């Protein structure tokens, strides 16, 4: 009797059968407006089928990492890559077509930017690109640092364990060991990444772009060169606030580690900021708290004390959205999501939200810990889920944010309503900040996450745009990475680095080929969205005090924008929620105005900058 296949293996086998049948794009026999409409209808059906196959394979690969699941994802993605390359090429025949309706025009534009990893038409190169991409993400997901402990025994630690060291330890050498241990896992990625760039650039050229970076920047309803200028403009708006925060934090770190390790007028060593990539600094809160004891903000301790498990944490996030007039999550969400780290196999713990079938098959993937950080992340990921809920009945190319920054910004905007008052309602804070000292503490804690992230969010894709264009040569990958990190972040490598290293690969989004400008935009847009929703709720006080929890008017405004998906250019979606058509950082600056004034006072007489 044949032994039944394990669940994951059965799913792999089923998908393998499905992916054996390639889908061919419709043949363009005419170029009239009606021909274009017919073409887009068929492409919509085909893409939904192919994206469902790819997404299902990716889900299995992310939640059950094996060589076989990597192969399966590569095969599914190879079929998708082939289809997209052919469909985008075919769609270019309609460039001169007149009389097309707005939907058809919008669909063809979205199709032209539908892939972040375009494959060459050569089948062997396409197969190689899919396999390379899967291998890169697999190296990251299986990454471990093995070293001997004080007892002489070898111990292997994954990213979660090493990140815990960065977050909790205050021992300079222990932090350094964990930092360098994780970064060394990326070294084998370097030749693979170089090859991925070569192949993806070739694919981008075949569909009409100079390089992959130009394709990515074309996805914002404006010319690529204008989008780069737009990100520069937004960065200039927020840079003064970041530099004020950097100056204060460096001074506090000097008290902990000494000026010999954290000198005046120099970048901060990357391993001292509480995060593996120094992208957010909230884990060093105890070292930089402005007024110790002025406001009890230790939410994590209360979560642990009350024994919140993943169900309680996720249900709390769900209840937030339900309070705005959104529906409860379907039963399948609870059955199919990955909420905790598997004990019997490897999985990618990086939090993400999914609609696997583009038909309401909603899931999140997280290795949830009983921490405030993960409670906030759950609210964020459910922001994605409720975006899906509001648009999943639309054509598949409309099942996206108005631009990719919108999707991230919605989740982030809702987390701004996790105010001390909201946390008190949840029973996670005993009392609210009572005075200016308490306010500064709250704002500092927020800024360590949201303001500290801004330059990191900007530089990731700046590095890749320059790599894709050839401005940064393969022989300069690591040097250029650290030059950008010092320029934008004022953060330096804590150890000498060379071109044997591939430190960009130690950040998930590089080997996973996930564009990153969306996260930078999200940090700006979330405040713009928050301000708009607070206005809709009728809130009159300072922006930092507003929570829209329980407000159906704000919920209706939010749903009106979510329901658009990508069916309209992003300025129209922005107008639907805010009455504004330009991305603007003034809401962020308004939100943090009390903190910035305080920082300027504290930094008087200090040598700021780097």
Average predicted confidence (pLDDT) for the chain: 92
Q: In this structure, what DSSP letter does residue 280 have?
A: -
Instruction: Encode pLDDT of 360-407 as tens digits.
Output: 999 999 999 999 889 999 999 999 999 999 999 999 999 999 999 999
- The arithmetic mean of pLDDT across residues 123-149, rounded, is 91
From CA 38, how far away is CA 94, in angstroms rounded?
12
Amino acid 3: pLDDT: 37
Distances, alpha carbon 449 to alpha carbons 251, 454, 457, 610, in Å: 18, 9, 12, 21
Q: Give the Cα-Cα-Cα angle 179, 373, 63 (nearest 5 degrees).
A: 75
DSSP H or E run through 559: helix 552-562
Instruction: Encode pLDDT of 205-260 as tens digits.
Output: 998 899 999 999 999 999 999 999 999 999 999 999 999 999 999 999 999 999 99
> Residue 13 pLDDT more than 60?
no
Angle between helices 7-19 and 67-91 (to 10 degrees): 30
**296: confidence class by pLDDT, cuts 50, 70, 90:** low
Amino acid 15: pLDDT: 47
Which are the catalytic amino acids?
350-351, 380-381, 384, 408, 509, 519
**14: confidence class by pLDDT, cuts 50, 70, 90:** very low
> Residue 528 pLDDT more than 70?
yes
Do strands 362-365 and 491-492 pair parallel, antiparallel, or not at all (unpaired)? unpaired
Amino acid 19: pLDDT: 46
E-strand stretches of 276-421 = 352-355, 362-365
From CA 481, how far away is CA 536, in angstroms rounded?
42
Amino acid 149: pLDDT: 78
Instruction: Encode pLDDT of 577-603 as tens digits.
Output: 999 999 999 999 999 999 999 999 999
> Residue 467 pLDDT more than 80?
yes
Instruction: Encode pLDDT of 58-113 as tens digits.
Output: 999 989 888 888 888 888 888 888 888 889 989 999 989 999 999 999 999 999 99
From CA 481, how far away is CA 512, in angstroms rounded?
17
Q: Which two tokens stand for residue 107?
A: 């669909």
Amino acid 6: pLDDT: 39
């Amino acid at each position: 009797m044949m032994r039944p296949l394990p669940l994951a293996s059965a799913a792999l086998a089923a998908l393998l059968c499905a992916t054996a049948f390639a889908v061919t794009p419709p043949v363009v026999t005419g170029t009239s407006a009606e021909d274009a409409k017919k073409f887009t209808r068929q492409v919509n059906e085909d893409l939904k089928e192919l994206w469902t196959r790819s997404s299902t394979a990716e889900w299995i690969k992310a939640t059950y990492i094996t060589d076989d699941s990597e192969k399966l994802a590569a095969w599914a993605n190879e079929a998708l890559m082939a289809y997209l390359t052919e469909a985008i090429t075919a769609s270019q025949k309609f460039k001169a077509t007149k009389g097309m309706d707005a939907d058809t025009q919008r669909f063809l534009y979205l199709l032209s930017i539908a892939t972040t990893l375009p494959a060459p038409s050569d089948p062997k190169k396409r197969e190689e690109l899919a396999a390379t991409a899967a291998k890169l993400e697999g190296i990251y997901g299986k990454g471990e640092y093995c070293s001997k402990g004080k007892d002489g025994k070898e111990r292997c630690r994954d990213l979660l364990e090493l990140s815990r060291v960065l977050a909790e330890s205050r021992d300079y050498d222990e932090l350094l060991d964990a930092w360098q241990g994780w970064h060394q896992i990326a070294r084998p990625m370097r030749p693979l990444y170089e090859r991925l760039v070569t192949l993806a650039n070739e694919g981008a050229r075949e569909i009409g772009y100079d390089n992959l970076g130009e394709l990515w920047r074309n996805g914002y309803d404006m010319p690529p060169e204008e989008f780069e200028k737009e990100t520069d403009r937004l960065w200039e708006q927020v840079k003064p606030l970041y530099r004020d925060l950097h100056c204060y934090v460096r001074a506090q770190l000097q008290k902990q580690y000494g000026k010999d390790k954290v000198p005046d007028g120099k970048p901060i060593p990357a391993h001292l900021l509480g995060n593996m990539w120094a992208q957010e600094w909230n884990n060093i809160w105890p070292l930089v708290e402005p007024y110790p004891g002025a406001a009890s903000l230790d939410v994590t301790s209360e979560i642990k004390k009350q024994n919140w498990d993943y169900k309680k944490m996720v249900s709390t996030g769900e209840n937030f959205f339900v309070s705005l007039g959104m529906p409860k999550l379907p039963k399948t969400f609870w059955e199919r999501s990955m909420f905790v780290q598997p004990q019997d196999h490897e999985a990618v713990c990086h939090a993400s939200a999914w609609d696997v079938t583009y038909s309401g098959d909603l899931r999140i993937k997280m290795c949830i810990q009983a921490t405030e950080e993960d409670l906030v992340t759950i609210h964020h990921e459910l922001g994605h889920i409720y975006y899906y809920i509001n648009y999943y009945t639309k054509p598949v190319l409309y099942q996206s944010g108005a631009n990719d920054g919108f999707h991230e910004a919605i989740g982030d905007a809702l987390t701004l309503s996790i105010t001390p008052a909201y946390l008190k309602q949840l029973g996670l804070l005993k009392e609210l900040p009572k005075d200016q000292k308490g306010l500064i503490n709250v704002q500092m804690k927020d800024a360590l996450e949201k303001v500290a992230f801004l330059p990191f969010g900007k530089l990731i894709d700046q590095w890749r745009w320059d790599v894709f264009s050839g401005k940064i040569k393969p022989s300069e990958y690591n040097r250029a990475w650290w030059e950008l990190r010092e320029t934008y972040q004022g953060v330096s490598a804590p150890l000498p680095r060379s071109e044997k290293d591939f430190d960009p690969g130690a950040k998930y989004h590089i080997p996973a080929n996930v564009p990153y400008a969306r996260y930078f935009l999200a940090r700006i847009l979330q405040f713009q969205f928050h301000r708009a929703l607070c206005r809709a709720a009728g809130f009159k006080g300072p922006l930092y005090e507003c929570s829209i929890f329980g407000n159906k008017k704000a919920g209706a405004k939010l749903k009106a924008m979510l329901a658009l998906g990508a069916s309209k250019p992003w300025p129209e979606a922005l107008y639907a929620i805010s009455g504004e058509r330009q991305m603007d950082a003034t809401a962020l600056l308004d939100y943090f105005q009390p903190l910035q004034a305080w920082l300027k006072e504290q930094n008087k007489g200090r040598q700021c900058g780097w």
